[in-house]
Amino acid sequence: MAATMIDCVVFGSLWSKRSVKELFDEVPRTKTWLEILAVLAEVEAEYDLIPADAALLIAKVCRTLTVDDEFLEEVRCGREESGHSTQGLIRAIQRRLTPNSARWVYSGATVQDVTDTWLMIALREARRILERDLEEVDCALAMLARRHRDTVMAGRTHGQHGLPITFGFKVAGWLAEVRRHRRRLREIAARMDVAQLSGGVGSLSSLGPRGLDLQRQFAERLGLRAPVVSWNTSRDVFAEWCTLLTLVTGTADRIGHEVYNLQRTEIGEVKEGFVAGTIGSITMPHKRNPEIGEHLGTLSRIVRHLGAAMLEGLVHDHERDGRSWKTEWHAIPEVTMLASRVIELLKGLASSLEVDEVRMRANLEASGGFALSEAIMLALAPQLGRDAAHRLLYETSIVARERDQTLIEAVRANAVISAAFGEGELELLLDYTFHTGLCGAMVDRVLAEEP
């Protein structure tokens, strides 16, 4: 039976994209560890650190081992008996070797050499998946921004109507963030994909005088780079990875939360795409809930907390510190899996979002013209001065609310304001369409930007 939601047969797909979860599952992880040990043996033999015939047999056994429940149980028993993280695996391999070959398994390497190298390999594949999915999010948001470049709606500050904007402008803000994250993912690649092979304290003393060359060969055969210096206690790159995913999921949460609010019954300006057969509530048959927006919030909150745990791991004692380092075994895979699902959900949300342009306009007009206060003030400023114009509109707004009037009614009734405009000028000034500022131009700039 699954102990966590991610491993749950029923609910697992809610917490991770399947292809990313598979990278961290026990069987593929163990297989990659075995491949790392096979490569290690081969390279060490080439540098005369272990016998060639032993390396050949170690590599063959590691690559042909069947990693099934029986083998994993054998490894588990060995770990519990020894109290050491990888002694169970070492002994399981040794049992399948001749005595002369068995003593060379894992020679000169530490647990951290294997686990750090594996994690870099897994994250390299995860990064490629996340990059592809974010590109699809980019395409969906770009289409939405282009389609609604000039769709007028209420801009809101502090939860209240502010000034008119366009929905395309709102989406362009989301898109610009996503594109920054895509660039960050490309940039972080230069600091990732680095192998770990440094021995007990990072000095490479166990790898002989040509240890740096051996290390480079080891890394290259696994598709990684050799480090410029051992990084046993330098965990900034892993912390950066999790921080980046915290930023990505934070953006997704912001978008989901906005959709959640705009889908409120009394607002109703957007709706998550509906899939026939989905049920919003067991007790209230009419419900159509913003399930994606809510779940984006759930997953992103967990990522933020795990991201904070990774920042704690930046502080290590001396040349190795299990307290900080082993926190990563839990945090990094989970952050990566959760983020993969967040991006997958965001892609679905953006590509199927339903936009109610009529409701957007109706809600804006329902404000009674108060969203036009800035436009009227600025139009009066050349004659009255900015401060005097602000004071006049402020007092007019107060009177309108006290008398339960719209601002448009109050403005038309105000002699000073009416006298300031020629025939037809005030009517033009009260058209929301003309007061979205440079929203459209900014949408165009974002769309023209290189992703």
Q: Is 355 helix (H, G, I), strand (E, B) or coil?
A: strand
Largest CA distance in the chain: 103
Q: For residue 155, what is the enclosing H or E element?
A: strand 152-157
Query: What DSSP letter does each residue of 257-305 carry, written as one string?
Result: HHHHHHTSTTT-SEEPPP-TT--S-SS-TT----HHHHHHHHHHHHHHH
How far apart, in whole angstroms, are the C-alpha atoms of residue 93 and residue 78? Answer: 11
Q: Is 260 helix (H, G, I), strand (E, B) or coil?
A: helix
Q: Bridge partners of 194? A: 225
Q: Which residue do the tokens 């092979």 mark?
A: 197
Q: For residue 271, what is the enclosing H or E element?
A: strand 270-271
Residue 345 gets which letter from DSSP?
A: H
Selected catalytic residue, list 82, 203, 281, 418? 281
Nearest one of 267, 241, 223 to 39, comparing CA atoms: 223
Burial class (CB in 10 A: 0-12, 13-18, 19+), 3: exposed
- How far is residue 97 from each of residues 49, 93, 110, 270, measured CA to CA in Å? 18, 7, 20, 64
**Checking DSSP bridges between strand 354-355 and strand 152-157, what pairing results, if any?**
unpaired
Cβ within 8 Å of residue 259, ≥6 positions away: 270, 272, 290, 292, 293, 349, 353
How far apart, in whole angstroms, are the C-alpha atoms of residue 284 and residue 278? Answer: 13
Query: How distant is the alpha carbon of residue 182 from its chain centre?
Result: 10
Cβ within 8 Å of residue 434, ≥6 positions away: 375, 428
- How far is residue 324 from each of residues 235, 238, 250, 315, measured CA to CA in Å? 9, 12, 25, 7
Contact 238, 196 (CB under 8 A): no
Contact 38, 117 (CB under 8 A): no
Contact 83, 26 (CB under 8 A): no
CA-derived radius of gyration, the chain: 30
Residues in the chain, how many? 451
Q: Is 300 a catalytic residue?
A: no
Q: Is 281 a catalytic residue?
A: yes
Residue 101 gets which letter from DSSP?
A: H
Residue 80, Cβ neighbours under 10 Å: how many?
11
Catalytic site residues? 158, 281
